[in-house]
Amino acid sequence: MNQTISYCQHGLKGEITIPADKSISHRAVMFASLIKGKTLIKGFSKAQDPLSTVNVCKTLGVEIESINESDIVVTSSGILKKHSQYLNCGNSGTTMRLMSGIVSSRNINCTLIGDESLSKRPMRRIIEPLTKMGAVIYTIDNCSPLYICGRNLHSINYHSQLASAQVKSCVLLAGLNAEGRTTFTEPSLSRNHTELLMSYLNADIKVDGLSVSVKRSQMEPKTIEIPGDMSSAAFFIAAALIVPHSDIILKNVGLNPTRTGLLEVVSKMGGNVEILDKRIVCGETVGDLRVKYSELKGTVIDGDLIPKLIDEIPIIAVMATQAEGTTIVRNAQDLRYKESDRISAVAGILKKLGADITETSDGFIINGKCNLSGGVDVDSLWDHRLAMSAYIAGFLCKNEILVRNFDCVDISFPEFEQYINYLHM
């Protein structure tokens, strides 16, 4: 499906509730599948990626049913099916990398497969630590399909070069069923939903700065409530900040500090975002946000901030085109290994729309404030975050734009268009 977007004249107004966090949805259904008994998950995501995890868990013998519009119940014996089978992870890197930790540490023989984009993404980052724990994984060129012969693993003390929550979670999930205590240390803090949810479900997990360790333990069935996704809220936050006359309220936004790098950047850029009613739900920080149009200024985004906003960089680039002065993003080389090469794709799209953006090896340099001319077609490359970022950029373009392959937004945010139309009425 292609989507046309025209200049937004009157700004965004109104209040919406942000749908469930994708990262936490994956973890909730995976962890519930390892727990003997019934787990109620409230506010589960309807996006394709978490549904890939649901399908994989079902293939492994877990019963998962929707009990209403937003809640699901997971019923498991706590032991997953042993037989060799294909586990289809679709487009989802989180499903493939985290499930690899689960199946390789249990008595399960299986093959993890994914779509064309996932089959090109690097898996060496998880194969290396898992192999050190004694896992048996066969691949061609460290990409999927991953043929895994699950078995008893032993603990490791692993120092990762990458700040990646997927790698960390994979190792912790393997460690949850390995001999001894497994420790994972990362160079800067990546999202910590695995640590928080394992703690909430009473696993034997300890956090010490940039290190986290886990020991073989059983988690307990408890109701899990999932907050709204900061990475989905990001598109509305950016849109309201850069489209004149906007004033919106976003309810139920996950505000875990390992995910709120965007808010830190917005504050440095002079953006007006107010946090209302901050609270804790199942160990996660949640709040409501009021966002108003603001005159932004350029900034530098690098170092420890990168993992806290890794998925928001495409929409931050759009925001930077409307900020006075230069914005530099650096140390974000891992963006080249996402659903697409997001460094070259973002630069390509924004340049075509009329922005002054230069690609670097690990980020980009954007000079604002740009008048975007638009009047062109751009391609999402089947990358959901590029499709939504291009959509928001379209609001600033003088001439209508067309985003090709827009339906990939369903991967993380099937409600996107309905919500943006509501705020735009």
Q: How far is the CB of 101 from ligand S3P (least distance, A)?
A: 12
Our answer to whether residue 21 is catalytic in this structure is: no
DSSP assignment string, 342-404: HHHHHHHHHHHHT-EEEEETTEEEEEE-----B-SEEE-TT-HHHHHHHHHHHTT-SB-EEEE
Q: How far is the CB of 69 from ligand S3P (least distance, A)?
A: 24
Nearer to ligand S3P by Cβ, of 104 and 166: the residue is 166
Burial of 274 by CB count in 10 Å (0-12 exposed, 13-18 middle, 19+ buried)? exposed
Nearer to ligand S3P by Cβ, of 94 and 105: the residue is 94
| Amino acid of residue 352 | K
Q: How far is the CB of 164 from ligand S3P (least distance, A)?
A: 3
Alpha-carbon span 259 to 193, nearest angstrom: 10
Asked if 102 contacts 34 with a C-beta cutoff of 8 angstroms, the reply is yes
C-alpha triplet 12, 14, 17: angle, nearest 5°: 110
Nearer to ligand S3P by Cβ, of 241 and 310: the residue is 310
Q: Could you give the C-alpha distances from 60 to 76, 136, 151, 166, in angstroms and in order? A: 10, 19, 16, 21
| Amino acid of residue 153 | L
Nearer to ligand S3P by Cβ, of 263 and 423: the residue is 263
Q: How far is the CB of 254 from ligand S3P (least distance, A)?
A: 12
- Say how many C-beta atoms besides its own lie within 10 A of residue 152's C-beta: 12
Nearer to ligand S3P by Cβ, of 136 and 210: the residue is 210
Q: How far is the CB of 94 from ligand S3P (least distance, A)?
A: 4
Q: How far is the CB of 307 from ligand S3P (least distance, A)?
A: 6
Burial of 195 by CB count in 10 Å (0-12 exposed, 13-18 middle, 19+ buried)? buried
Q: Within 13 Å, how many C-alpha atoms sit on residue 375's CB side? A: 6
**Helices 230-242 + 384-394 axis angle, to 10:** 20
Q: How far is the CB of 73 from ligand S3P (least distance, A)?
A: 23
Nearer to ligand S3P by Cβ, of 94 and 232: the residue is 94
Catalytic residue from among 21, 49, 288, 311: 311
Nearer to ligand S3P by Cβ, of 261 and 394: the residue is 261
Alpha-carbon span 211 to 244, nearest angstrom: 44
| Amino acid of residue 267 | S
Q: Dig out the tokens for 334 from the structure.
A: 């891992």
Q: List residues near ligand S3P by CB under 6 A.
A: 23, 94, 164-166, 169, 190-191, 310-311
Q: How far is the CB of 160 from ligand S3P (least distance, A)?
A: 10
Nearer to ligand S3P by Cβ, of 307 and 368: the residue is 307
Residue with tokens 């333990």: 217
- Strands 272-281 and 284-292, by their bridges, are antiparallel
Asked if 50 contacts 29 with a C-beta cutoff of 8 angstroms, the reply is yes
Return the active site residues. 311
